[in-house]
Each structure stands twice: as C-alpha cells, then as structure tokens.
Structure 1
Amino acid sequence: MTLNTHPSWIDEFPARIAELDRAHLRRRRRVVVPESGARLQVDGQSMLAFCSNDYLGLASHPALVQAACAGAHEFGVGAGASPLVSGHSAANEALEQALARFAELPRALYFYAGYATNIGIVPALVAEGDALFSDALNHACLIDGARLSRAHIHRYAHADLGALDAALSQSPARRKLVISDAVFSMDGDIADIPALLALCERHDALLLLDDAHGFGVLGPEGRGSLAKFGLTGARASRRVLYMATLGKAAGVAGAFVAGDDALVEWLLQKTRSYIFATAAPALLASALRASLRLIETEQWRRDHLSRLIARLRDGLQPILRGTPWRLGDSVTAIQALVIGPNDEALAVMEGLRERGLWVPAIRPPTVPEGTARLRIALSAAHSEDDVDRLIQGLAGLAPKSQLERPSAALEPTLA
C-alpha cells in the first residue's frame, strides 16, 4: 500500500480558523443560565441581556413549566418515532388544531424546529424547472431551502416589489414560489404582505411567509403578521403558506406551517425533514398550548413591549445624531444598531459587557459586509429602567458626533 505523502487538507483547519480570527469573524459560544426577568448568567457573569428572542417573556413562565411537567408525566420525554410512524401524539394533534384556530387558517402542521421546517417545505413545493423568488435579506433557512429545491432562483433586492413584479412577469415557469420573511430578522422591518400577495395573485404564484419574529407579537391578540394585515379567517388566501417558529415569542420550541388544507396535506406527504425525523416531544406541545392561551389573553405584554421599543428609539436619537452609527427603521422588538466594521462592533459589545449588558455583535455572513451591528432584542421581561441602562451604556461608548468635534481649522497639523 502506498502512503499519501502530500499534506492533508485536514491539516488546513487551524489556519482557516486563524483567518476567521484575523477577520473578526470567529464565533464563540457562551454558557448561559437563566436568572430572573431579562437577566442571564453568561460564562458565570450576571448580565442584563438584550439578545433573546423571548419577546413576551414567556420562556420561564410558571404556567408553561407546569404544562411541560404534566405533559412529561402523561407522555414521557421522547416521541420515539417520526410523526408518520408513531410519534404524532394526542398532545401534538391538539396543538396543531390550536395553532390553526389561533392563526385563523384552515390547517396547521407542527415541526420540531424552525430551520428544519423551511429547508424541508421549500423543496416540497418547487423543484427543478420551477421558479423561486427570494428577498435578498431572507433568513438562512429560506435561502438553504431554496438551494435544496433546485428550482431556478431569482433573488430580488430587499423589499423591491417592482423588481419582483418584473421577474415574475419574465419567468416562463408554470410553478412559481415567492418566499419572504414577514419580519426581517436582522433589521426588524415588516414586509408589505398585501402587496406581495397581490403580485402572487397577478402571476399565479404561491407565497411562503416566515413569521418567526411576528408571531405572538404582531396583529390582534398576537396572531401574527398575516392577521396584522387582515389576511386570515374569511380573508385568508389559498395562495399563502404561513410559517412561524414557537421558540421565540411563544417561549418554547419548534415551528408550524399553516394554510390551505390541500397544501398542508401535500407538505405532510412530501416534506423530508418532517417524514424522516423524530417528532417533537409531547411535553413541548403541552407547554405550547399553555403559551397560546397566555399570548391570546395577556395583551399587557405586547403593550409593555411597544412602550419599551418607543423608549429605546427616542433615547438613542440624540446619541446617534452626527455619528456613523445608524439605527434601523423598525417598529418591532428587533432594533438593529448598525456600527459598520466588525472590530468596532465587537469593541462596543465588549464595552457593554464590562457594564453588565449583554448585546452580542452580529457580523458577516449573517449580515452584509460593512454592516456589523448590535442586534438589540427587546422583551416584555425588560423594565423601563433596563432600557435606560442600555441607552446610558451606549451613550458612553458612542463616537463623538461630527458636531462635537473641533473644526478642521482648529485641529493641530502634523509636522
């Protein structure tokens, strides 16, 4: 046997990791332990956190904990099999019915994870020879689902509905699928869903919406972005598939897709990430039913969250004036403070950490080059004092505005 004497490609990984370090792109996991309210113990340090997608503060709610414990006592801990074998418990069935009622859509299908939902349902809807139209700022799971589908992908500029209309008009494909976040995860802006649906009606296309960051927060009783625009119930369109995750505002885990009965049945039959994966444990379904009841009845959580969003935005305006920092145009719980270079975003993150504030920096490839940012996530678990602490922390770290800097005539010259 002849041994390979050439250097192995496996030996390249240390250098490749070092390159991530040089570009300030290496990610590091933190070990966290929940404390009270919006506080987390991060690597052993107690921190006021502005990074959780637990928008309504339900993740540690006693009603959810009690429901999960009761579900574990009744059904055990694991599901044991795929939903199409023996994993679809009575609790999961009840949850699907509750989700359909809550979202005001004909039928719902419950998945164990949001990422698995989108990478599975997109290839179940379109394939080679079909056409897919994707917003440039869609979440990675929609992008990866599009790639897996092998459909011809048309990527249109963020929220550019004119470009989408033109691309749909020019496509000769019989089956067309438009995919879009409802609330964009890194900027917090909301898609123009009625306009997207109108284009799909005009061009005989199907619309898949990912409402991971709108479900539970937007619309009447938190029913989501479709409900916000009055496109559920009697006004629901068979052209819309509505997907939402259950590990954010709902405070638990998993995801669901809802829509026309025939479309949901097709997804049940053809989605590989549903068919070939063990079902979500019934205890989670039990907790989620408790969560839906709280989302529907405790409007004060959304009202409080809205006040915190306004307080943060108002408090940051004078700090940012004249600086290169930019606050995104968002009315949702996601407030993107764009810093720019990776190293500067990391420096601000570290400065906040030293002040007991945990706001991780988001860098490429999650966001475009040159737009590294602090993704500030607000929650009903925060208080007004918490938001004021963050504003004060950022005020101490912000670069001096152009108005505060000495004029060029007064600046010393270099010999």
Structure 2
Amino acid sequence: MSGLGWLAAAALDRDRAGLHREPLIRSRDSDLLNLASNDYLGLSTDPRVVAGAQSALTDFGAGATASRLVVGTTTLHIDFEAELADFAGFDAGLCFSSGYLANVGAITGLVGRGDLIVSDAGAHASLIDGCRLSRAQVVVVDRGDVAAVGAALSAGGWHRALVVTDSVYSIDGEIAPVPELYRVARAHGAALLVDEAHALGVRGPGGRGVIAEAGLSGAPDLVMTTVLSKSLGAQGGAVLGPAALRAHLIDTARPFIFDTGLNPAAVGAARAALRVLREEPSLPQRVRANAAALARACGGGEPAAAVVSLIIGDPHRAAALAAGCRADGVLVGCFRPPSVPVGTSRLRITARADLDGAAIGRVASVVNRHRAAVSA
C-alpha cells in the first residue's frame, strides 16, 4: 500500500458513520435564509461595516504584507486594539489573524513545561489545541465543574497555572460559571482565560460579554480572548488584558510573531462594527429575543445567548434534516462528532438581530416539517 493509500478506506468509514462533510459554497446571489452563520448582529453586510473595510483597502491595500513585527502593523491595528480593549473594559488588546490563533497564542504564551492548565471539557478546539501545544500538564474537568477546578489546582506541583473556559459554549449557547471560576482560580494563585467569542455583542452591558456582566472587566489575573468574525461580522481574533500581557505576547506568542498580520480590510470592518455596537446598544437584546422566539417556535430549550440547539441524535438524520431545510431555502448548522459527543448530532440554529417575525416563522415552519419527516 502507498503512503496515502489508507485515505480511501478512511473516507468510506466516515461516510458509513454519517460523518462525511462538504463545504457549503455560497454564491453572491444566494437567496437562502442563513441561520447557520455566527453573524449574530447581522453586521457582515451592513453598509457602514462594508465602508469601513473599503476605506482600509484604499488606505493600506489588500493585505498586511508581513508579520505584525515586521511591517504588518498599521495605525488601524493599533487604534482598533485600543478601542476594543476600552469597550471591553481592559487596559490593552492585541489582534491576531484569527480567533483560533488568538487562543493558541495566548495559552502558549502564558504557560509551558512545568505549568498546569485546568481546561473545561466544553472548551472550543482552539483552546484545546492551545493547551496541547503549550506542553503544560493539562487537567480536563467536566463542564462548569468549579469544585473539580479547585481540586486540580490544590494538587500542586506546578509553577504557574491557568484555568481555561469559554464564557458561552459554542454548541448549545449555555453560559459558564465565570465568576465562580475566577474566584477559585484567584484563591489558588492561578490566572483565568475566558474565550468570549460567542458572548461579545450578545451578552453583558451593551454586548460587552459575560466578563462584564459579572463585573469583572479588567480584573487582576483575568485574560479575555474573543473574535472579530461573529458579532463584529469581520475576521480575526484578539487577546485583552493588562498592558503587561500585551507586551509579553508580542515577544512570545508564535502565532503573532510568525504569522502574517490581520489584513487591514478586516480590521477596518471590525472597527466600524464595534462603533455600530456602541451606537446601538440594543442589538444584543434583539438577538437574544430572536433566539428565544426561534427556540419557542422550533421546540428548543430557552437559549442563554444566540444559539438554538436541537438535538437529533443520529448523524445521518441530522444531515438529512439540514439538507431538507436547505432545499427549502433555510440554511441551518448541522453539528456531528467530533464537534459534539457521539449520539448528540444536532441542528444548530443561530439567531441574528436583524431577523423579523416573518423570517422566524418561515424558519420554524421549515425546520418543524423536515424534523417530523426524518423522525417518521
């Protein structure tokens, strides 16, 4: 057998298990009602946000042209980092070219060999990979299990320790116990890193996130990571914290040092979206209200953020349900293992602030009809 001869058999295994995937290709003139994206505030096509990207293109060109440490940092990057940090209530921020790399860069920059990470079992793949790449000892605890976090930290034997969690779990939109995790981390001399990817623009005062909702913005030993690709409708990621953290990551975070900087158009778009969020602080409440309406109409549980999760179970049925909805003009997410545990394949419907009652009714009608069909 050749070195890659096993790929065909692996593909067949995935297909039999209902785990084969193909990227969905969107055309410019698509008329699909999109409830599969993470464009929670509907800002990715907002004229003000598009204008922000266009202005950055005119001023700085299509790409950052180099890593941030060479010539990949523009005045736009610096201004946006300061504005985002101010909005979230932290001293400083640092942008990365994706949220994935922001998490990897933050974790690997903060801990290494001889250190301890206590990671929530519900953590996003970017947090998991950051933990693995750090070479620190990693203890995984059940989702939201504060007592288990304390027990892991109490075991000792570490030089530095970091507790890692999402604030809003990406699959079902539930909220992590951030205040309790912060207290237990501080009690043991550890830092807490909270990924606010699915909370920025959705939770907290004016959409500032779960950290702000808990009154912990800018608190000692607390690091916030987030993305520019969800509520801000653009691309990229950021790490927020004290100025000393920013300086440290510039010197140590490999995804910052060796990756080409975030393209200026994405920064310009995110900056414009952030200003829209400041000017329209009702947007987070609107997206949560729409999520609640979708959940009621589709038979889901009461959502805490923008995500409505409908567990189907079997991956084949979940994929068939999503395909049926798409054929009827409604695009919903389909999550199967390894994104979710075996036996919990599901539809993931994401609300947007710009949905109206007619759109919500259309989604419910299509989802419920095809759900009944695959269950028959």
Same fold (TM over 0.5): yes
* Distance apart, 1:30 and its partner CA: 1.5
Offset of residue 328 of structure 1: 4.9
What is the Cα deviation at residue 34 of structure 1?
4.9
The aligned counterpart of 2:347 is 374
Contact 1:221 1:297 in 2 (8 A): no
Q: Give the drift of 1:27.
A: 1.0
Query: Equivalent residue for 1:295?
Result: 277
Determine which of 260, 278, 288 is the counterpart of 1:306. 288
TM-score by length of 1: 0.87
| Distance (Å, rounded) in 1 between the aligned partners of 2:235 and 2:327 | 31
After superposition, the C-alpha distances for 1:93-122 in whole angstroms (9 at most, x for unaligned) are: 111111111111011111111111112221
Hey, what's the Cα distance between the residues in 2 that align with 1:222 and 1:214? Answer: 7
Mapping for residues 1-400 of structure 1, pairs under 5 Å:
7-34=1-28, 41=30, 46-232=31-217, 236-317=218-299, 327-328=300-301, 330-399=303-372
Cα distance in 2 for partners of 1:241, 1:279 equals 21
Distance 1:208 1:264 in 2: 14
Write the distance in 2 (CA, Å) between the matches of 1:395 and 1:34: 28
Q: Is the 8 A contact 2:294 2:351 kept in 1?
A: no
Aligned pair count?
375
Residues 187 and 329, structure 1, Cα contact 8 Å, conserved in 2: no
Q: CA deviation at 1:329?
A: 5.3
Aligned amino acid, residue 40 of structure 2 = Y
Shift in Å, 1:63: 0.9
Q: Please tell me the residue identity of whatever aligns with 1:177.
A: L
CA distance in 1, matches of 2:172, 2:234: 23
Alpha-carbon separation, structure 2, partners of 1:395 and 1:96:
43
CA distance in 2, matches of 1:290, 1:360: 27
Report the Cα distance in structure 2 between the residues aligned to 1:34 and 1:56, rounded to whole angstroms: 20
The residue type paired with residue 23 of structure 1 is: A
| Shift in CA distance, 212/18, structure 1 to aligned 2, threshold 3 Å | same
CA-based RMSD of the aligned residues comes to 1.7
Q: Work out whether residues 216 and 224 of structure 1, in 8 Å CA contact, stay in contact via their aligned partners in 2.
A: yes
Give per-residue Cα distances to partners, 1:20-55, cap 9 Å, x unaligned.
1111101101210355xxxxx2xxxx3212101000
Amino acid at match of 1:13: L
**Higher mean C-alpha deviation, range 351-360 or range 367-376:** 351-360
Percent identity reads 36
Structure 2's unaligned 5+ residue stretches are none
Q: How far off is 1:393 after superposition?
A: 2.0
- Higher Rg of the two aligned structures: 1
Task: Kindly indicate whether the alpha-carbon contact (under 8 Å) linking 1:328 and 1:338 is maintained by their aligned counterparts in 2.
Answer: no
> For 2:5, what is the secondary structure of its paired residue?
helix
Structure 2 CA distance for partners of 1:238 and 1:380, relative to 1, 3 Å? same
TM-score, normalized by length of structure 2?
0.96
Q: Return the letter of the residue paired with 1:245.
A: V
For 2:156, the aligned partner's letter is S
Instruction: Give 1:355 shift.
Output: 2.2
**Structure 1 residues 300 and 238, CA, compared in 2 at 3 Å: closer, same or farther?**
closer
**TM-aligned CA deviation for residue 240 of structure 1:** 0.5
